[in-house]
């Protein structure tokens, strides 16, 4: 039995709905249609009245989720694309994120963001906004890279009493498969050593973990052993695991699909530079998308964000320093 | 401004050798310039007419700076393969039949960066770059950059990477190791710091006969090195500049002529100090000297007996050595050394024959930033001369 | 503090009781406002943000007083009277304005950004229109949990009706058929912006048709009419009539905040009927009806002034917040707090 990343997300939601009557799903086209990516396929039927179509109102979708959460519900809001979440960003960052700190009343909601690029998806269907949300206090930001994490971390997200931004990668939806759903999971907030290495550390998250692993496989044939760290959550960021890896290798390359300025990669490097300066044998490096909107044509898109080739190049540069 | 020498970065214009309006031939001298090494000329890169001097007299210009403008004919430009646009110190200017580059009204003057070529350490060539991790490890192990000499670096520009370093340490662990004494480590550190300066040595043979003769007449008997020490003190009293310290662009003159002398103790060297050696006669110095040597050998020197000296004297002759180049203490500019005395032939002009004399080499090792060979030589000569008249010491 | 049961105005002794209670809340609100204004002028309010409800007391109290336990209420910046009617105490209000750590917002938010979410009293955020969808969500949750006959009330001004958030929320409420009462206090100005620069329809109530919901208008200066109209709207929503849009017409009788002198307000508007002071109108009305005497009014005024003074005195004795003693944790799940960002020694 082969389970895709998307299946895992649907299964997690089904399980959440089944286990806790306070859970409901609200978003555009999530009801009978099953969602733009079929992440809620069949769920409206299986759980009547709990998987509802919303009007195209990101602000009202989140606002109402806040109200419901105050009343004890545990809403899952599906944004059709991460790129549209910014229409409702005020309710996320100024309301949901600040509510507990201001009132002591927790807001247990989950905002699912289909994130990341696929060929031809263009500037408004490809964005990765984890850094934007991580910037605001009061949010947990998850970026699962594997089928197993997509499943267990979404269940965890629903169970957490705080607002969780769940960044799912659209490319991984159907391209990533696993044999079975997991029965156990690493705790949320811990990063995973996706591949052990010795010569250089690549810190990555979401789809870039797979690019990094491909690079590590290629370079292993030359005798270079790359350690790959999968952050799993961007906030909280598991500085300890990153630091321990850099302690082993002395060289750090941080890779992210998002825009460069103030990205997750900048945050990782800032922490390593300030807390782990004496671990570094070479200046820490980062690789991100270009500082332009995301291009439409696949040829341009391939050059816009990090790929296995550009990562190899960055790795070689760093090893030569 | 051409590149006038390997390390020359700039030169000062000291005279024009032709004037605006002159026709000049290729390779003709145009300007006289002075660099830190020499005075030389800037020559014409081609035949043409000197249109305008941009350079001013007595001003310094860096390599590559525009000094003036020569106008050339089209044929001359083609002959030399020079393009008609502004490049280096040539431009094809407004003469008939000549290429002319008009001012581009759209061309905005570019902002000149105030700092160019900031070093990016990891790319810099040279083995001296140490990464933060390296520094941290070396600090843990009590090592310094000088300890890395001899480690083959596999990093950019030959730098020693942490891998190279850990390999080195691992290899060392395989050899027989013994602990260095505190004294040894302290001396090692002092020598390392001293060596960070450019040091040089000058030497002079000195006729010891006058000293030996004088020595027979006095009690207690000063050692030859003490004669040298007293001579050094008097020479420095006459001119203390050679013993000054260079701090930045200032020479710090010595406050008092306190001279130390090296005494071997265990596996290191102690340097007791004779204070105001210029003001104390040789006999009194001898008593103090003997006391200090005794205390030093017993490792019982009081704290105020060392430190604060402005120069040191070492008698390497006691080991039978005739020549040595000692290293001055890190806080001092000079160390005077005296070699072993031995019979040597001396040409006696009066007798027109070689006569045997007792001779020893005096060496002066010095911080070359403070004084050059000439000053060092003059100081050494003066010491030699003073030692030729020991009753005046 | 227990919330008072509200009784729909019917004109009988129950109606008179409601009316008198409403008036007392108005008077208390006005007294409290005046006290806050003087604290502001004395420099006692951190940030200097004091927003008064002068002129809006009748409209505001009429909504708050018709709500009951189990309802949800999202008041805005000039709803002092409604908040008191819904069960807020003057002490909570003063504490929040002064930033006391003993207030409901524990020094972390201040002045009108206050509430008790678990009691259905929602603390506002500054972004206008944002609270309405939150009320929607609370109502959806209650409905889902099987609660019946509840009402969610939100207040916005004429200016806030221009925001996308208020439009989205009203549309959502209509689509979801929620028992929402949205009261629009059209006081002619949004800060310095007159309504001619805010909307082009003749009256904001015209929009109700566009949303497919019931619309009401009311003279915001007349307590009796406010109690009646708003009472009906609340009842309509409560009994399944869907969202109700109530537009009250009045004039803002103070600056946007106490830092503002409102010199831009057209003096002619002050002469208009809706330029009357609702408190004066109500006072006169009560005296005319013979429901109170002047002596009673004076006595109430004194009592309420004492109540306000006592609250202020107590709040001013509160300790100041101590940064070092604060838990700087924005998450309820403390083990998911991100790393320390302070420079470590």
Residue B47 has pLDDT above 90, yes or no: no
Report if residue B178 sits inside a domain: no
* Percent of chain A at pLDDT exceeding 70: 100
What is the full DSSP assignment across A139-164?
A: -EEE---SHHHHHHHHHHHHHSSS-E
Residue A69 has pLDDT above 80, yes or no: yes
Give the pLDDT score at C168. 96
pLDDT tens for each residue of C204-225: 999 999 999 999 999 999 999 9
Report if residue B307 sits inside a domain: yes
Report if residue C338 sits inside a domain: no
Chain A's closest residue to C104, CA to CA, is A103
Report if residue C51 sits inside a domain: yes
Confidence of residue B41 (pLDDT cuts 50, 70, 90): confident
Q: Are residues A150 and A32 in the same domain?
A: yes
From CA C101, how far away is CA C124, in angstroms rounded?
18
Name chain C's partners: 3 or more CB pairs within 8 A: A
Q: Are residues A227 and A83 in the same domain?
A: no
Report if residue B8 sits inside a domain: yes
Tell whether A77 lies on the interface with C, counting CB pairs under 8 A: no
pLDDT tens for each residue of A119-164: 888 899 999 999 999 999 999 999 999 999 999 999 999 999 999 9
CATH number at A171 reads 3.40.50.970
pLDDT tens for each residue of B191-249: 888 998 999 999 999 999 999 999 999 989 999 999 999 999 999 999 999 999 988 88
Chain A's closest residue to B122, CA to CA, is A321
In whole numbers, what is the pLDDT of chain B averaged over residues?
Answer: 83
CATH number at A312 reads 3.40.50.920
Give the pLDDT score at C342. 54
Report if residue A201 sits inside a domain: yes
What is the full DSSP assignment across B210-271?
A: HHHHHHHT-SSPPPHHHHHHHHHHHHHHH--GGG-EEETTEEE--SS--EEE-EEETTEEE-
Total of domains in chain C: 1
Whether residues B133 and A278 touch (CB distance < 8 A) is answered with yes
Give the mean pLDDT of B126-132.
Answer: 74
Give the pLDDT score at B104. 53
Report if residue A186 sits inside a domain: no
Report if residue B88 sits inside a domain: yes
From CA A60, how far away is CA C137, in angstroms rounded?
9
* Domain stops at, among B102, B132, B158: B102
Total of domains in chain B: 2
Give the pLDDT score at C255. 87
**Which residues from A are below 8 Å from B134, CB to CB?**
281
Q: Are residues B71 and B211 in the same domain?
A: no
Residue C81 has pLDDT above 90, yes or no: yes
Distance from CA of A240 to the nearest CA of C (A): 9
Report if residue B228 sits inside a domain: yes
Are there at least 3 beta-carbon pairs closer than 8 Å between C and B? no
pLDDT tens for each residue of C28-59: 999 999 999 999 988 888 887 789 999 999 99
Taking only Cα atoms into account, the Rg of chain B, rounded to an integer number of angstroms, comes to 31
Give the pLDDT score at B127. 57
Q: Are residues B227 and B79 in the same domain?
A: no
Give the pLDDT score at C10. 42
Chain C's closest residue to A72, CA to CA, is C141
From CA B309, how far away is CA B7, in angstroms rounded?
37
State phi, psi for A16 to the nearest 5 degrees. Answer: -60, -45
Residue A174 has pLDDT above 80, yes or no: yes
A22-36, C6-20, C158-172: which range is least confident on average? C6-20
From CA A46, how far away is CA A13, in angstroms rounded?
12
CATH number at B30 reads 2.40.50.100
The interface predicted TM-score (ipTM) is 0.89
Q: Are residues B342 and B205 in the same domain?
A: yes
For residue C73, what are the β-bridge partners?
Answer: C121, C153
Q: Are residues A252 and A134 in the same domain?
A: no
Report if residue C341 sits inside a domain: no
CATH number at C154 reads 3.40.50.970
Report if residue A115 sits inside a domain: yes
Q: Are residues A9 and A145 in the same domain?
A: yes
* Domain stops at, among B102, B117, B148: B102
| Residue predicted with more confidence, C73 or B188 | C73
CATH number at B238 reads 3.30.559.10
Residue C237 has pLDDT above 70, yes or no: yes
A121-125, B185-189, B253-257, C77-81: which range is least confident on average? B185-189
Q: Are residues A82 and A107 in the same domain?
A: yes
Residue C289 has pLDDT above 90, yes or no: yes
| Residue predicted with more confidence, B99 or B318 | B318
Tell whether C326 lies on the interface with A, counting CB pairs under 8 A: no
Tell whether A73 lies on the interface with C, counting CB pairs under 8 A: yes
Give the mean pLDDT of C156-179.
Answer: 97
* Percent of chain B at pLDDT exceeding 70: 85
Total of domains in chain A: 2
Give the pLDDT score at B9. 62
Residue C13 has pLDDT above 80, yes or no: no
From CA A222, how far away is CA B174, in angstroms rounded?
29
Give the pLDDT score at C207. 97
pLDDT tens for each residue of A212-237: 999 999 999 999 999 999 999 999 99
Residue B59: give the domain boundaries: 1-102
Whether residues C136 and A63 touch (CB distance < 8 A) is answered with yes
Residue A191 has pLDDT above 80, yes or no: yes
Report if residue C324 sits inside a domain: no
Residue A108: give the domain boundaries: 3-178
Give the mean pLDDT of B309-332.
Answer: 94
Report if residue B176 sits inside a domain: no
Distance from CA of A282 to the nearest CA of B (A): 6
> How many beta-carbon pairs under 8 angstroms link A with B?
32
Residue C321 has pLDDT above 80, yes or no: yes
* Percent of chain C at pLDDT exceeding 70: 94
Give the pLDDT score at C336. 93
Give the pLDDT score at C114. 96
Q: Are residues A105 and A214 in the same domain?
A: no
In whole numbers, what is the pLDDT of chain C averaged over residues?
Answer: 92
Are there at least 3 beta-carbon pairs closer than 8 Å between A and B? yes
Residue C240: give the domain boundaries: 13-319
> How many beta-carbon pairs under 8 angstroms link A with C?
149
Confidence of residue A43 (pLDDT cuts 50, 70, 90): very high
Catalytic residues of A: 125
Give the mean pLDDT of C107-111.
Answer: 91
B300 Cβ contact partners less than 8 Å away, ≥ 6 residues apart: none
Report if residue B160 sits inside a domain: no
Q: Are residues B242 and B359 in the same domain?
A: yes
Report if residue B132 sits inside a domain: no
| Residue predicted with more confidence, C73 or B177 | C73
Confidence of residue B37 (pLDDT cuts 50, 70, 90): low
Q: Are residues A245 and A298 in the same domain?
A: yes
Report if residue C3 sits inside a domain: no
Report if residue A185 sits inside a domain: no
Give the mean pLDDT of C320-325.
Answer: 90
* Closest among C196, C137, C138, C145 to C168, alpha carbons compared: C137
Give the mean pLDDT of C283-293.
Answer: 96
Q: How big, in percent rounded to 5, are the helix, strand and coil portions of chain B? A: 30, 25, 45
B120, B132, B156 member nearest A320 (Cβ): B156
| Residue predicted with more confidence, B299 or B252 | B252
Give the pLDDT score at B300. 86
Are there at least 3 beta-carbon pairs closer than 8 Å between A and C? yes
Report if residue A126 sits inside a domain: yes
pTM of the model: 0.73
Report if residue C242 sits inside a domain: yes
Q: Are residues A102 and A160 in the same domain?
A: yes
Give the mean pLDDT of B305-310.
Answer: 90
Whether residues B132 and A278 touch (CB distance < 8 A) is answered with yes
* Domain stops at, among B66, B86, B102: B102
Whether residues A103 and C104 touch (CB distance < 8 A) is answered with yes
Report if residue C5 sits inside a domain: no
Tell whether A188 lies on the interface with C, counting CB pairs under 8 A: yes
Tell whether A283 lies on the interface with B, counting CB pairs under 8 A: yes
Tell whether B123 lies on the interface with A, counting CB pairs under 8 A: yes
Q: Are residues A111 and A83 in the same domain?
A: yes
């Amino acid at each position: 039995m082969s389970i895709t990343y998307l299946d895992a997300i649907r299964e997690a939601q089904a399980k959440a709905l089944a286990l806790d009557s306070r859970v409901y799903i609200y978003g555009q086209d999530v009801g009978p249609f099953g969602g733009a990516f079929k992440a809620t396929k069949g769920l409206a039927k299986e759980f009547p009245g709990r998987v509802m179509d919303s009007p195209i109102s990101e602000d009202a979708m989140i606002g109402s989720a806040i109200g419901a959460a105050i009343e004890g519900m545990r809403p899952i809001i599906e944004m059709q694309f991460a790129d549209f979440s910014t229409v409702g960003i005020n309710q996320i960052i100024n309301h949901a994120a600040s509510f507990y700190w201001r009132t002591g009343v927790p807001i247990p909601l989950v905002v699912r963001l289909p994130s990341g690029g696929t060929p031809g998806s263009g500037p408004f269907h490809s964005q990765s906004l984890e850094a934007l949300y991580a910037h605001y206090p009061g949010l947990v930001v998850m970026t699962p890279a594997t089928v197993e994490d997509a499943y267990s971390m979404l269940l965890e997200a629903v169970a957490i009493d705080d607002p969780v931004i769940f960044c799912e990668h659209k490319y991984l939806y159907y391209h990533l498969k696993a044999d079975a759903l997991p029965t156990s999971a690493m705790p949320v907030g811990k990063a995973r050593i996706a591949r052990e290495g010795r010569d250089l550390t690549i810190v990555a998250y979401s789809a870039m973990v797979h690019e990094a692993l491909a690079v590590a496989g290629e370079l292993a044939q030359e005798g270079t052993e790359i350690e790959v760290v999968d952050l799993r959550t961007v906030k909280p960021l598991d500085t300890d695991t990153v630091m321990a890896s850099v302690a082993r290798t002395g060289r750090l390359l941080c890779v992210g699909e998002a825009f460069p300025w103030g990205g997750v990669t900048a945050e990782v490097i800032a922490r390593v530079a300030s807390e782990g300066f004496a671990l570094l044998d070479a200046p820490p490096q980062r690789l991100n998308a270009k500082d332009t909107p995301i291009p439409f044509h696949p040829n341009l898109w391939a050059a816009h964000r990090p790929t296995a080739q550009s990562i190899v190049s960055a790795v070689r540069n760093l090893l030569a320093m | 401004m051409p590149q006038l020498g390997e390390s020359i970065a700039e030169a000062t214009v000291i005279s024009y050798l032709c004037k605006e309006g002159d026709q000049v031939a290729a390779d003709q001298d145009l300007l006289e310039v002075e660099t830190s090494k020499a005075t030389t000329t800037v020559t014409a890169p081609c035949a043409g007419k000197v249109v305008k001097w941009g350079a001013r007299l007595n001003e310094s210009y860096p390599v590559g700076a525009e000094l003036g403008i020569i106008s050339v004919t089209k044929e001359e430009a083609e002959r030399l393969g020079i393009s008609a646009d502004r490049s280096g110190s040539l431009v094809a200017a407004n003469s008939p039949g000549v290429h002319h580059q008009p001012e581009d009204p759209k061309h905005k003057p570019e902002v000149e960066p105030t700092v160019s070529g900031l070093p990016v350490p990891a790319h810099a060539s040279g083995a001296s770059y140490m990464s933060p991790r390296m520094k941290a490890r070396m600090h843990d192990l009590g090592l310094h950059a000088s300890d890395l000499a001899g480690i083959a670096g596999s990093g950019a520009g030959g730098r020693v990477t942490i891998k190279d370093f850990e390999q080195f340490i691992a290899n060392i662990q395989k050899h027989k190791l013994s602990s260095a004494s505190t004294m040894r480590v302290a001396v090692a550190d002092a020598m390392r710091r001293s060596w960070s300066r450019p040091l040089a040595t000058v030497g002079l043979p000195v006729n010891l006969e006058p000293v030996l003769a004088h020595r027979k007449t006095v009690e207690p008997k000063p050692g030859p090195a003490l004669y040298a020490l007293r001579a050094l003190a008097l020479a420095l009293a006459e001119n203390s500049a050679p013993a000054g310290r260079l701090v930045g662009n200032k020479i710090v003159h010595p406050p008092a002529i306190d001279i130390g002398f090296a005494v071997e103790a265990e596996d290191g060297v102690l340097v007791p100090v004779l204070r105001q050696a210029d003001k104390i006669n040789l006999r009194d110095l001898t008593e103090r000297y003997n006391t200090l040597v005794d205390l030093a050998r017993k490792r019982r020197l009081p704290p105020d007996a060392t430190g604060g000296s402005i120069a040191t004297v070492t008698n390497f002759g006691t080991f039978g050595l005739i020549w040595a180049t000692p290293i001055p203490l890190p806080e001092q500019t000079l160390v005077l050394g005296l070699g072993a005395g031995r019979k040597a032939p001396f040409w006696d002009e009066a007798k027109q024959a070689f006569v045997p004399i007792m001779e020893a080499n005096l060496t002066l090792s010095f911080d070359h930033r403070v004084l050059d060979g000439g000053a060092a030589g003059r100081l050494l000569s003066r010491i030699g001369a003073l030692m030729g008249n020991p009753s005046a010491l | 503090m227990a919330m008072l049961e509200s009784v729909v105005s019917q004109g009988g002794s129950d109606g008179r009781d409601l009316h008198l209670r409403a008036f007392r809340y108005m008077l208390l609100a006005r007294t409290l406002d005046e006290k806050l204004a003087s604290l502001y002028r004395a420099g006692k309010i951190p940030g200097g943000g004091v927003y008064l409800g002068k002129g809006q007391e009748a409209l505001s109290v009429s909504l708050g007083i018709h709500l009951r336990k189990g309802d949800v209420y999202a008041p805005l910046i000039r709803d002092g009277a409604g908040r008191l009617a819904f069960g807020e105490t003057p002490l909570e209000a003063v504490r929040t304005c002064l930033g006391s750590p003993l207030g409901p917002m524990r020094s972390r938010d201040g002045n009108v950004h206050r509430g008790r979410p678990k009691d259905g009293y929602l603390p506002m955020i500054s972004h206008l229109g944002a609270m309405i969808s939150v009320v929607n969500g609370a109502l959806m949750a209650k409905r889902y949990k099987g609660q019946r006959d509840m009402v969610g009330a939100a207040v916005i001004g004429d200016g806030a009706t221009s925001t996308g958030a208020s439009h989205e929320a009203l549309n959502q409420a209509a689509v979801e058929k929620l028992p929402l009462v949205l009261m629009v206090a059209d006081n002619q100005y949004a800060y310095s912006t007159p309504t001619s620069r805010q909307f082009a329809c003749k009256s904001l109530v015209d929009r109700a048709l566009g949303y497919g919901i019931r619309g009401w208008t009311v003279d915001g200066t007349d307590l009796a009419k406010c109690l009646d109209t708003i009472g009906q709207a609340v009842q309509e929503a409560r009994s399944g009539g869907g969202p109700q849009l109530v537009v009250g017409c009045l004039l803002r009788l103070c600056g946007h905040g106490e830092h503002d002198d409102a010199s831009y307000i057209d003096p002619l508007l002050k002469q208009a009927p809706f330029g009357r002071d609702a408190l004066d109108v109500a006072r006169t009305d009560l005296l005319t009806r013979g429901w109170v005497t002047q002596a009673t009014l004076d006595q109430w005024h004194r009592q309420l002034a004492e109540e306000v003074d006592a609250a202020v005195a107590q709040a001013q004795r509160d300790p100041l917040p101590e940064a070092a003693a604060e838990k700087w944790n924005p998450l309820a799940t403390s083990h998911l707090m991100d790393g320390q960002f302070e420079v470590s020694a």
